[in-house]
Amino acid sequence: MPQSLSSVLVHLTFSTKHREPLIVPSVESKLHAYATTVLQTVNCPSLAINGTADHIHVLFNLSRVKTIAEVVEELKTSTSKWIKTKGPGFRGFHWQSGYGAFSVSSSNVDKVVRYIQGQKEHHQARSFQTEFRSLLRRHGVPFDEQFVWD
């Protein structure tokens, strides 16, 4: 086959450092729009982006020539630099050092999009840490609690 083709959908999530509630309403939608642009630039179009004050979820199509780690590094670095320009309250903004990335079947895209769109509602009852542990367990990712959080 002379052509390389792929369809790899990734559900990515990561939090602000120490889960500080820094993604405030005044920058949230602009942050999501900027993240969408960053992903488009690296040829990884987003299908959904949402989150809460302390974390973000992204569903994107992974480029066939990029690794997840490369995409995450570009996304976190670019959005961190961008948000630091939005005022003195954001100068110390940092994302956590790690992330969670989970494969998504094309048959589950609508379900994952709804899940991402409903972030604010379901976080009224549970924390990011509880949600993240649940995602890790659901996807069979082993983890050591002492190394998950910064």
Question: Phi first, then psi: what are they for 125, rounded to 5°?
Answer: -115, -15
Blockwise average pLDDT, block size 10, the chain, 150 residues? 87 96 96 98 98 97 97 98 96 95 96 96 88 92 85
- Three-state DSSP at 118 gives coil
Predicted local distance difference test score (pLDDT) of residue 144: 87
Predicted local distance difference test score (pLDDT) of residue 1: 58
Identify the CATH number of the domain defined by range 8-148.
Answer: 3.30.70.1290
Give CA angle at 101 (31, 14), nearest 5°.
40
Predicted local distance difference test score (pLDDT) of residue 8: 96
Predicted local distance difference test score (pLDDT) of residue 122: 85
